[in-house]
Amino acid sequence: MELKIVIISGGQTGAHRAALDWAIKHNLPHGGWCPKGRIALDGSLDEKYQLKETVTEEYLERTEWNVRDSDATVVFTLAPKATGGAQKTLTYARKHKKPFLHLHKGILAASEKLIAFIEKHRVKRLNVAGSREIKEPGLYDWVMDSLDKAKDSVEK
């Protein structure tokens, strides 16, 4: 079996960027919304990220639109409790009645839980969100590793 999904994300540092880089690395389609001007904490987003710009520079507009336009959302954090934009993403998922999953570093077999979630909800377009790298250093690497493990487990 093969992991066939479109990765949707907003391009921010941390979980968002890891998901987009992971999709590019594995030749999987990706997309989503980013704020007007392609802004992120570390500057303007590279054109290699195939994201559309929202009407405003507001991060929350991008966050809600990515939830709205996806089949389901996964939020990655290192800490057990999602805060800030990660928490707001979960709030938007509830508002739009979209399936969501919060994975944090303390969860055992996170990649297996992600695959089960994708299969259960027949996800084709997965919104990947979470904390920013500056807030949770090391999140980028953990998200990349978790997605790699999920892909490997599906393709065995």
Is 131 a member of any domain? Answer: yes
Is 126 a member of any domain? Answer: yes
Residue with tokens 């389609």: 29
Separation of first and last alpha carbons in the chain:
8
- Residue 33 structure tokens: 């919304």
pTM of the model: 0.96
Burial environment of residue 144 by CB neighbours within 10 A (0 to 12, 13 to 18, 19 or more)? middle
Structure confidence at residue 85 (pLDDT): 95
Is 1 a member of any domain? Answer: no
Q: Residue 21 belongs to what domain range?
A: 6-154
- Residue 130 structure tokens: 């979470």
In angstroms, the CA 21 to CA 25 distance is 6
If DSSP codes are grouped into helix, strand and coil, which group holds residue 67?
helix
10-residue mean pLDDT profile of the chain (156 residues): values are 86 97 96 97 96 97 98 98 97 98 95 96 97 97 96 78
Domains: count for the chain: 1
In angstroms, the CA 68 to CA 89 distance is 10
CATH code for position 57? 3.40.50.450
Structure confidence at residue 101 (pLDDT): 98
Structure confidence at residue 152 (pLDDT): 86
If DSSP codes are grouped into helix, strand and coil, which group holds residue 24?
helix
Structure confidence at residue 154 (pLDDT): 75
